[in-house]
Amino acid sequence: MPLSNINPTQTKAWQKLTEIYQAENQQSILQHFQNDKHRTDNFYVQFEDLHFDFSKNRLSQKAFDALVELADEVNLKSAIKAQYSGEPINQTENRPVLHTALRTKDEVKIDEEPLNKLVEDTKVRMSEFVQKVENGQWKGFSGKPITDVVNIGIGGSDLGPQMIVEALSFYHNHLKTHFISNVDGDHVAETLKNLNPETTLCIVVSKSFTTQETLTNASTVRSWFLKHTTKNQIQHHFVAVSANIVKANEFGISSDNIFPMWDWVGGRFSLWSAAGLSIACAVGFKPFEELLHGAQQMDEHFQSEDLSNNIPVILALLGVWYNNFYNAESEAIIPYTQYLEKLAPYLQQASMESNGKGIDRNGQPVDYQTGTIVWGEPGTNAQHAFFQLMHQGTKLIPADFIGFKKPLNQYQDHHDILMANFFAQTEALMNGKSEAVVKDELKNQGLNSEQIQTLTPFKVFSGNRPTNTIIFDKLTPKSLGMLIAMYEHKIFVQGVIWNIFSYDQWGVELGKQLAKNVLKDFKEKEIITHDLSTSKLIDYYKN
């Protein structure tokens, strides 16, 4: 059964939400606290070691209830069922969406064909491979063990693995992991500079094995190897992860060295598959399985928990509330750990490639806003960069603050300062600072009344800026798996509500197509018609 096809703005719940918004949008978060003494109990969910507090939002209980009704009215529950049961909910590509099958023990089938064995067999192969590389059994052409692993891929074949590898740095083994993604030759050059071909292993990750950037980078790295070794021995240094075995073979990678990807796993959701081989190489296979286990726990929560107590659903509904009623354009992700430096770039692809769509599931242009702009940086650095705008700017930027109770390294004093900032920022964003308080402070500093009058407006914080607080005990492979699966499901829920297809990405094709034409212009002097502006610019580049 396809996903239901409901314009969200035509639902009863949307009507209700519009009325609630009109009646309540002038109420501050602080007023909501005054109106509801149990707000901190009502607006939080504890699941495993995940503490999710959403009390600091411009949201009354009534608005929250209506948002849950919206999820109900667009048949979210049956959409979740459809996804997990392998129905082709990626309709424009006629594919199921089953990255969740990579982390479940339940039986999963597509058209009566069970997938579990495929998944398990691949995991066994991955585990054996990783073990060999880790313990030095896998040798380079000159008989030396591998010291460096290079992931060559782009988009989903890079961002997820790279983000996780970086996030789990604390758990790394002796292997050094590198990522080459950009077709910019400087990226390859800088990476190869410090590598020894004798001890380097490349994992070429490309679901299609036709991606221009990845093939260009992989060919350059292959040539680098061929300067030092023979064609036959290259097998010691190249493995591939792909759904296109033929193309990977053509590139020169033997079938024994190819790990499968499947069309029922979208690129940006593929880190749980063999696309995560670089993760497993960096931390070992067991921690990789713990990552999957964390994600699987979040899957269970998402599937079985009531909508009103369901963390990804609540996150998604809050996003819709701000995007469609408060007209917020973006949302910030602020992890208070340097390990999650790559979380925002990863979520940009996961979210913006999924929900950056303007055509609904009827094939009609939508007349409401869809995908938000996702951005962010770790705290406290972000505080010294863009928090000025979040505190006093004219834009409403709802933010997720992600923190951990315990640090991974020994510097507890640092962690206390970090977390003090974490709590203080959400407090400041919500409470702001009133004119009266500012005036008092300036008076105490000895300023005269004229000076106080002049300075006060600049020092006032309006507050009322919403945040979610997400706290785990510790950054572990398991908690990381939960966190990432939580955002995956948030994205899915929003796509269902906005009545768009979240799992295709046609919008990336046009640029690729035109780049091929431009390249032809560079190389073959064959003139292709461009618009005047582009022609002039190409001419400038060529001459």
Tokens of 368: 């409401």
- To which residue do tokens 């292997």 refer? 175
Instruction: Name the E strands within 146-282.
Output: 148-152, 176-180, 200-205, 238-242, 258-260
Binds ligand G6P by CB under 6 A, chosen from 90, 100, 211, 468 = 211
Three-state SS at 335: strand
Catalytic residue among 81, 512, 516, 520: 512
Q: Which is nearer to ligand G6P, 372 or 505 (CB)?
A: 505
Tokens of 416: 């206390």
Binding mask 257-276 toward ligand G6P (x if CB under 6 A, else -) reads ----------xx--------
Interstrand relation of 50-53 and 467-472 (parallel, antiparallel or unpaired): antiparallel
Binding of residue 154 to ligand G6P (CB under 6 A): yes
Active-site residue 293, yes or no?
Answer: no
In DSSP notation, 172-212 reads: --S-EEEEE--S-HHHHHHHHHT--GGGEEEEEE-SSS--H
Count Cα atoms within 13 angstroms, Cβ side, for 352.
15
Binding of residue 502 to ligand G6P (CB under 6 A): no
CA pair distance 159, 435, nearest whole angstrom: 45
Binding of residue 161 to ligand G6P (CB under 6 A): no
Cβ 501 vs Cβ 357: under 8 Å: yes
Active-site residue 56, yes or no?
Answer: no
Q: Which stretch binds ligand G6P (CB under 6 A): 206-214, 448-456, 473-481, 483-491?
A: 206-214
Catalytic residue among 12, 231, 286, 384: 384
Binding of residue 207 to ligand G6P (CB under 6 A): yes
- To which residue do tokens 């066994």 refer? 124
CA pair distance 456, 440, nearest whole angstrom: 10
CA pair distance 486, 347, nearest whole angstrom: 11
Q: Which is nearer to ligand G6P, 159 or 399 (CB)?
A: 159
Q: Which stretch binds ligand G6P (CB under 6 A): 123-131, 153-161, 315-323, 488-496?
A: 153-161
CA pair distance 523, 516, nearest whole angstrom: 11
Q: Which stretch binds ligand G6P (CB under 6 A): 84-92, 200-208, 308-316, 320-328?
A: 200-208
Cβ 214 to ligand G6P shortest distance, Å: 5
Binding of residue 145 to ligand G6P (CB under 6 A): no
Binds ligand G6P by CB under 6 A, chosen from 200, 214, 273, 337 = 214
Q: Which is nearer to ligand G6P, 198 or 213 (CB)?
A: 213
Phi, psi of 456 (to 5 degrees): -50, -50
- To which residue do tokens 């396809």 refer? 2
Phi, psi of 147 (to 5 degrees): -115, -25
Cβ 175 to ligand G6P shortest distance, Å: 23
Binding of residue 310 to ligand G6P (CB under 6 A): no
Q: Which stretch binds ligand G6P (CB under 6 A): 56-64, 207-215, 296-304, 368-376?
A: 207-215
Cβ 459 vs Cβ 452: under 8 Å: no
Binds ligand G6P by CB under 6 A, chosen from 157, 273, 370, 499 = 157
Binding of residue 353 to ligand G6P (CB under 6 A): yes
Active-site residue 87, yes or no?
Answer: no
Binding of residue 90 to ligand G6P (CB under 6 A): no
| Amino acid found at 51 | H
Q: Which stretch binds ligand G6P (CB under 6 A): 40-48, 150-158, 379-387, 478-486?
A: 150-158
Cβ 96 to ligand G6P shortest distance, Å: 17
Rg (CA), the chain: 25
Q: Which positions are annotated as active-site residues? A: 353, 384, 512
What residues line the site for ligand G6P (CB under 6 A)?
154-157, 206-208, 211, 214, 267-268, 353, 505, 508
